[in-house]
Amino acid sequence: MTNGSGDIRGEVRAWLAAHWDGETRRPRDGQTADFIAKVFEAGWAVPSWPEPWWGRGLDKADASAVISEFRKVRAPGAGQDRTNITANTVMNFGSDALKRKVVPDFLSGRVHQCLLYSEPGAGSDLAAIRTRAEREGDEYVINGQKIWTSGAVTADYGLLIARTDWDVPKHEGISFFLIEMRQPGIEVRPINQITGDSHFNEVFLDNARVPAENMVGVEGQGWKVLQTALAVERLVMGEGAGERRQGSQKSNVVSLIDIARDAGKLGDSLTRQRIAQAMAYRQLNTLNMMRAKAEMAGGSSSPIMSLGKLAMSRILHEDARVMTSILGAASMLDGADHARAADVNYRTANAYMTSIGGGTDQIQRNIIGERVLGLPRETEVDRNLPFRESRAVTG
């Protein structure tokens, strides 16, 4: 892996030493939010972006070095040029005015976002969305329903795709907006999930309004903008963000070895084989990601990055399967008195968040097959029809 120049590492270390307590993993002064704001002001939030745009204009190797120094001491806020979905999307496609208006708030963690993509009738076939955006003066008026939106209750902004043209093929009539969530036309209803959590929501848009200046990219080009936003999201999921429960900074990885020891099965050779396989899936994915980053730091693009999310879904399902086999009959139990069982059952259900959310494993395999391996595209019978005539509309 490329290490970046010593100068930049030294500078980051010195800065971190002044602002972050590596022992307690807390900011030296104030709250985490204050620290993240300082990270932003220092340019570490987006080190590869140019200086006028809140970055430091670093090359890939040096930018990776910044992230790695932050990781070493578990300090948050750096490297959002790779991971912040909203900031990257607006930065790539938004007008200069929109960038200045919203990007600093997103990078400094002052505002929260949610993703308004999927609809009841548009899951894997996301381009079949029917939420409409109609221009009225300086605004667009939004009507429709979104689903699988996490963080909608606390979000300040939503990244919204809506249809602005019904007379062109489905991918061509979509526009991308940054909509303010706190307004009368938006209602959020939590979804009760199979895990018992309510992490996701339905969002009803009833004459909600968004200023025309908050369109990201140009009208009708929303699909292209969305691809960038999705690529960032999948990258983050492949690195295991799906393993962190909401609100928890702590990684949720548990040791299969510990579980087997506690269950008195660490000496069982079949159990050991299963543990090895599950742990290998995880370590191989880590090694793949490290190699991909090294290749990208060296200037070449890496196809490996697109594999991470699919690999992570296998890891999470396999972990849950192996834990279940270790626990045996106890896995039928639940509740606080049966913490291990409750945990494994939660994991079993929650693994679907990664294998369905953000593009199902099956859609991921299509994407890998087509974009990485260059295999022919799926046939899509309504791809070139005016959307109005598609079965998504006619039923």
Partner 1 sequence: MTAISAEERAAIRESFARLLADQCSEEDVRRTMASDEGYDPALWRAMADMGIIGLVVDGEHGGIGAGAVELEMIMEEAGAHLLPGPLLSSAVLAAALVAASDDVGAKARLLPEIASGELKATVALTGDTGSWTREGVMVRAEFDGDRARLFGSASYVTAANVADTLLVVATTAEGLATFVVDPAAPGVGIEALESWDLTQRLSRVTFDAAAAVPVLGAGERAIEHALALARVALAGEQAGAARRIFDITIEYLKTRVQFGRPIGGFQAIKHMAADLLIEVESATSAARAAAQAFAEDAPDREILVNLASFACADAFSEVAAAAIQMHGGIAFTWEHPAHLYLRRARADAQLFGNSDLYRERYVAALEKAA
- Which stretches of the chain bind partner 1, using CB under 8 A? 255, 257, 266, 269, 272-273, 275-277, 279-280, 283-285, 287-288, 290-291, 303-304, 307, 310-311, 314, 362, 364-366, 368-370, 372-379
The least CB distance from residue 366 to partner 1, in Å, is: 6
Nearer to partner 1, 92 or 360 (CB): 360
| Shortest Å, Cβ 97 to partner 1 | 41
Closest to partner 1 by CB, 372 or 393: 372
Judge whether 149 and 158 are in contact, CB under 8 Å.
yes
From the CB of 185, what's the least distance to partner 1, in Å? 40
Q: How far is the CB of 188 from partner 1 (least distance, A)?
A: 35
Residue 297: what residue type?
Answer: A
Q: How far apart are CA 86 and CA 88, in angstroms?
A: 5
Taking alpha carbons only, the member of 221, 132, 146, 213 closest to residue 181 is 146
User: Is the CB of 191 or the CB of 356 nearer to partner 1?
Assistant: 356
Check if the beta carbon of residue 173 is closer than 8 Å to that of residue 112: no
C-beta of 218 vs 276, nearer to partner 1 = 276
Question: Which conformational region is residue 244 in: left (phi greater than 0), alpha (psi within -120 to 50 degrees), or beta?
Answer: beta
Please give the distance of CA 367 from its chain centroid, rounded to a whole number: 17
SS3 176: strand
For residue 239, the minimal CB distance to partner 1 (Å) is: 15
- What six digits make up the tokens of 140? 């667009």
Distance, C-alpha 5 to centroid of its chain: 30
Six-digit token string for 156: 């300040």
Please state the closest distance from residue 248 (CB atom) to partner 1, in A: 22
Nearer to partner 1, 2 or 150 (CB): 2
DSSP H or E run through 206: strand 200-211
Angle at 216 between CA 88 and CA 237, to 5 degrees: 35
Amino acid at 246: Q
Q: Are residues 138 and 212 in contact, defined by beta-carbon separation less than 8 angstroms? A: yes
Residue 282, CA distances (Å) to 240, 256, 279, 355, 364 in order: 10, 12, 5, 15, 18
In the complex with partner 1, which residue's Cβ is closer, 168 or 266?
266
CB of 371 to partner 1, least distance (A): 10
- Beta carbon nearer to partner 1, 280 or 339: 280
Identify which of residues 241 and 266 has a Cβ nearer to partner 1 in the complex: 266
Taking the complex as a whole, how short is the minimal distance between the CB of residue 280 and partner 1, in angstroms?
A: 6
Exposure string of 100-125, with b = 16+ CB inside 10 Å and e = fewer, is ebbbbbbbbbebbbbbbbbbeebbee
